[in-house]
Amino acid sequence: MPSESCLFAGQSGDTVDIIRRFDWAATSLGPINQWPDVLVSSTRLILSSPTPIVLLCGPSGVLIYNDAYATFAGLRHPEIFGVPAEEAWPEIADWNRHVIATGLAGKSISQENLYLPLRRPGLQDDAWMNLYFNPLLDAQGNSHGMMCIAVETTQQMVATQQRAQAEAELREANERIELALNAGAVLGTWVWDVPNDSVSGDERFARVFSIDPQEARQGMKLERVTPAIHPDDRSRVEALIARTMQTGGDYRAEYRLLQPDGSYRWTEANGHCELAADGTPLRFPGVLIDIEKHKQTELALRQLTQNLEERVSEAVLQRTQAEELLRQAQKMEAIGQLTGGIAHDFNNLLAGILGSLELIQRKLPAAENPVLMRFVEAAIASANRGASLTHRLLAFARRQSLDMRPVEVNALVQAIKELLTRTLGEQIKLEIQLAEDLWPTRSDGHQLENALINLAINARDAMPDGGTLRVETRNTQLSEADAKNHQVPAGDYLLLAVSDTGCGMSQEIIRHAFEPFFTTKPIGQGTGLGLSMVYGFVKQTGGYLQLESQVDRGTTLNLYLPRLHVAPTEPTHTAPLPAPRGTGERILVVEDDKVVRMLIVEVLEELGYQLIQAGDAQSALSLLEQHWPLDLLLTDVGLPGMNGRQLADAARYRQPNLKVLFATGYAEGAEVRDGYLSSGMEMIAKPFSFEALASKIKTMLEG
C-alpha cells in the first residue's frame, strides 16, 4: 500500500487539501493507506478532471469529489465532503440508496435530464442533471462503490420549459384571436405608419368608423379616425396614444365609437408602438375589439351592487332603529317598575295617613273644635292630592286601575270638545277631524279623556302666542314589521292624533319625553307626569304612543289603540251603596304595616265585626287554625315571605269557600290581567276610604 506522504503527489486544489487533512480513520473507509487500489486510483482520476465527478464509497456511499463538483454543491461544500450520501443529500435519500445498491451489485446507471429537488444554498434549488454511474471494481471484480459523472442541464431545461410555455401562450393567443374573429368580437385591425401619419385598416375597421374600405386600405390621416370617438373619451384616448408613442410598448384603451345609426358602441383598442433606435415612433399596429356586452354586464353588475349596498344600508338602519326602540322600551320598562314600586310604597303610607285623619274626623265632631277640623280637612285634601300623584305614577307604570269597556272615540272627543276649548283659551284654535265609520276600541273612557286633556295642556303651554291644536281620528293597520318595532300585535288599530303648531322639541328632549318627572317647564308649573301617564295608559290598553316633533315645527302625538271587533254597548250606572255595619262576622286582617292594620281593625270593630289580626302569612295561618271558620280574609297582596295570594290559597285549602279581599298598594284591577283573582275574591286599592272598605266587605259577605 502507498504511504500517505506520497498520495496524490503533484495534485492541487481545494478538495485535494481537504483529502489530505481529513480524518479518514473516523469514517467507514478507514485510513487512506488502507484503501483499496481502485479507490485510490479513482480519487486521483477525479481530482485531475475538470468535469464534476463524485465517488460514493463503501456501503454508506461516503462522498469524495473534485473541485468542479464542489462548485455544483454550492454552499453545502465542504460540509458534505466525507459524509455518507444520505446525510449529505437527505432530500434525495431514496435515490442515493438506489444508486449505492446498484453500484455494490456491480451495475451501471445512466440518466439524462433527471430532475432532482436539491436544496443548494446560493444556487437554484431545482436541478436537472445528466448522471452517469459506474461501479468501482477491483481486480477481483468486487465493487467498492460508484463513480458519478454529473453534468448539470438546469439552464437548458429551464430555457426549454420557458420556450415551451411561450409557444403555448402564443398558440393560446392565436386561438383566442381566431375565436374572436370567428365570433365577431374583433371589429377590425389597423396599422399606423407614424412618420407618414398614415392609418390603414381592414374592411371591418372601415365599417366601424364609417369609412370607405378603399380609403382605409390605402391609408388615411389619424385625424380622419378620431372624430368617431365619443367626445367625453377623446382627450383621454389622445393622451394615451401620445404617452405610448413616447415610451413605446403596449397600448390599451376603452372608448365609445359613433355608429351609423347615431348610437355609441363600447370598444377596446389594443396595439403596440414600435420605436426606432433613437426613440422615434415608427409603426403602431393594433386590433379593435367589441366590448359592448361586457360593458352592459359591468353596468348591470354595478347597479346590482349599488342596489345591494342600498338594501344592506337600509337593513342596517332598520336594525339600528329597532335596537334603539328596544333599548328605549327596556329603559321605560325599568323606569316603570321602579316608579310602580315607589307608588306602591307611597300608597301604603297614604293609607295610614288618610285612615288616621278619617278616624279623627269620625271621633272629633266639627262643632267642638272647628279650627282643628279645618286643619284635618286640609291634611286630607293634601293626602288625596298625593293619592292622585301616585295614581299618575301607576298610570305610567301600567299598574293603575282601568275600567275597560267598549269606547266610541269619536263620541268621546265630541263630548269633551267644550272642555278642550276652555282648556286651550281664546288664542288657540281647536280643529277636530273625525273619520267616518271609526272602529271602536276597548279602553277606560275616563282615562282616555284625561290623556286628551293632558295633551291639550301640553300643547297650550307650547303655544304661548297662540296657534292651532288639531285632533284627528282614522282607521289604520300595522304591518308585522311596524308592530314588531313597537312590541304590539299586527292588525287593525284606530289612530287618535293630537297635533300642535307650537315650539316643538329637540331630539334630546324627545329621548326623555316619556320619562316620569321630566319637564321643560319652570319649577312649580308642571310635575313632568303628563306624557308619562299617557304613555303608560296607552301601553296598558294594548296600543302604543308615537311622538313626532321638530323644533319650531310643532308636535304630534299619535295614540294607536287596538280595534275592538265587538259592537259597543251602552254602560249601565248603579248608585253607590251606603257604608253598612256588620253583624258580628269574623274577619281575619293580615297587614304587615302596623299603622294600616291598626286603623282597619279600629274601623271594622266600630262597624260591628269581630276582628283577628296578623302581621304576616305564617302568623295568619296559625290564627286560622284556632279561629276557623272565618267569614272573610282581608289581606295585603305584598306580604313578606308568602304573598297574599299564596296565603289565600293556603287558607282555602282549610276552608274552601272562604271569601278573600285583597288590599294592594298598586291599583284595583292591576293584577286581574294575570288571572290573580279567582271566584269569591275581590280587590281594593290603597289608599281607600273606610266607607269604600265597609261597602266592599258588606257586598262580599252578602254575595
C-alpha cell at 315: 337593513
Instruction: Report d(CA 256, CA 251) in Å as an integer.
Output: 16
- Please report the pLDDT score of residue 528 as a whole number: 44
295-319 burial: b if 16+ Cβ within 10 Å, else e: beeeeeeeeeeeeeeeeeeeeeeee
**What distances in angstroms separate CA 11 from CA 15, 48, 69, one per listed residue?**
10, 7, 16
**What distances in angstroms separate CA 628 from CA 586, 609, 622, 642, 651, one per listed residue?**
9, 15, 10, 20, 10
Left (φ > 0), alpha (ψ -120 to 50) or beta: where does 334 sit? alpha
CA-wise closest residue to 560 among 338, 409, 352: 409
**What element of type H or E holds 636?**
strand 632-636
Q: Are 695 and 578 in contact (CB under 8 A)?
A: yes
Which residues lie below 8 Å from residue 202, measured CB to CB, with a gap of 6+?
Answer: 188, 189, 190, 216, 217
The domain defined by 181-295 folds into Beta-Lactamase (3.30.450)
Any idea what DSSP says for residue 539?
H
Query: How many CA atoms, within 13 angstroms, populate the side-chain half-sphere of residue 412?
Result: 25
Please report the DSSP string for 611-678 in residue order.
Answer: EEEESSHHHHHHHHHHHPSPSEEEEESS-SSS-HHHHHHHHHHHSTT-EEEEEESS-TTTTGGGT---
- Please report the pLDDT score of residue 294 as a whole number: 83
* Residue ranges of the chain with per-residue pLDDT less than 70: 1-10, 125, 170, 172-184, 318-352, 354-403, 512-530, 567-580, 665-675
Q: Are 35 and 116 in contact (CB under 8 A)?
A: no
Domain 399-562, CATH among 3.30.70.3340, 3.30.565.10, 1.10.10.10, 3.30.360.10:
3.30.565.10
Query: How many CA atoms, within 13 angstroms, populate the side-chain half-sphere of residue 376?
Result: 18
562 prior amide bond cis, ω within 30: no
CA-wise closest residue to 633 among 596, 583, 683, 667: 683
Q: Which residue type, as a one-letter code, is found at position 677?
A: L
Q: How far is CA 261 from the centre of its chain?
A: 51
Q: What is the pTM of this model?
A: 0.36
Do the two domains 4-157 and 399-562 of this chain adopt the same fold?
no
C-alpha cell at 619: 302568623
Q: Which residue type, as a one-letter code, is found at position 295?
A: K
- Please report the pLDDT score of residue 205 as a whole number: 87
C-alpha cell at 207: 365599417
Q: Are 147 and 156 in contact (CB under 8 A)?
A: no
- Please report the pLDDT score of residue 399 as a whole number: 47
Query: How many CA atoms, within 13 angstroms, populate the side-chain half-sphere of residue 314?
Result: 6
The single residue listed with the C-alpha cell 442515493 is 96
Query: How many CA atoms, within 13 angstroms, populate the side-chain half-sphere of residue 360?
Result: 17
The single residue listed with the C-alpha cell 269569591 is 680
- Please report the pLDDT score of residue 144 as a whole number: 93
| Domain chopping of the chain, boundaries | 4-157, 181-295, 399-562, 586-702
Instruction: Report d(CA 208, CA 201) in Å as an integer.
Output: 10
CATH architecture of 586-702: 3-Layer(aba) Sandwich (3.40)
CA-wise closest residue to 389 among 529, 196, 199, 257: 529
- Please report the pLDDT score of residue 695 as a whole number: 87
Q: Output phi, psi for 164, to 5 deg.
A: -65, -40
> Coil, helix or strand for 441?
strand
Number of other residues whose CB lies within 10 A of the CB of residue 577: 13
Q: Output phi, psi for 523, to 5 deg.
A: -60, 135
Q: Are 46 and 65 in contact (CB under 8 A)?
A: yes
C-alpha cell at 283: 409603426
Class of domain 4-157: alpha beta
CA-wise closest residue to 11 among 56, 47, 35: 47
**What element of type H or E holds 523?**
none
C-alpha cell at 245: 408613442
